[in-house]
Amino acid sequence: MGDGEKPLRKISEAFKDLASTVNSQTLDVEVAPFSLACSHVSVLFGCLGIAFKFAEMDYVSKVNDLSKASASIDTLQSLLDHDVEQNCVRKGGSHSRNLLRVKRGLDMVRVLFEQILASEESSLKTPASVAYAQVFAPHHGWAIRKAVAAGMYALPTRAQLLRKLNEEEASAKVQMQNYIASSAPVILYINNLFLSRELGIEW
């Protein structure tokens, strides 16, 4: 990360744009800006260290897939419809399955930020554990859950995380609040894409 780069600001600005698209209720979310916004979040997973190494690798590969798909597929809606037509929604590696996994990554970060803002502790262990338990754990096998639990002891402190992100406490809080507010409608939008097609979201 170059000096002066502000990944949190990039994340919150990108999601503010996505949220305004969703909230317009007239525009479909396009795959290209969505995957670009999601790619900014990868930096954050990287900063959390070994506990989220699996999540980071999984998330990055899925975002890359969506980014490549954007060359031939315009919107998230058509991405799902294409997989429905091909009857491959739940197949490993399908764009729809990858979108669902990426959405979980966004949701985990949202819960993590909520927990960080609600806590004054210098340790990130509780916020990270709550976010993991709430979003990822139900979908992970025992071995991955155990590896994540072991890695929680190697999380950076709150101060170390902010240093890695080039943020002060006050500015970080603002950006985290912005992301929480703007990611919520985007996550809901993606859930509704699946639920309106009766595809479910718990798989």
**Short-list 197, 202, 190, CA closest to 85:** 197
Alpha-carbon span 186 to 62, nearest angstrom:
17
Report which of 39, 18, 38 is spatially closest to residue 29, judged by C-alpha positions: 18
* Of 7, 1, 49, 16, residue with least CA distance to 177: 16
In a structure prediction context, what are the per-residue pLDDT tens digits for the chain, which is 203 residues long? 555 689 999 999 999 999 999 999 888 999 999 999 999 999 999 999 888 888 899 999 999 999 999 999 999 999 999 999 999 999 999 999 999 999 999 999 999 999 999 998 999 999 999 999 999 999 999 999 999 999 999 999 999 999 999 999 999 999 999 999 999 999 999 999 999 999 999 99
pTM given for the model? 0.95
Cβ 51 vs Cβ 124: under 8 Å: no
Cα-Cα end-to-end distance for the chain? 35
Q: What is the phi-psi region of residue 156: left when phi exceeds 0, alpha when psi lies from -120 to 50, beta otherwise? A: beta
C-alpha 183/C-alpha 108 separation (Å) is: 11
Delineate the domains of the chain, giving CATH numbers in brackets: 7-191 (1.10.3520.10)
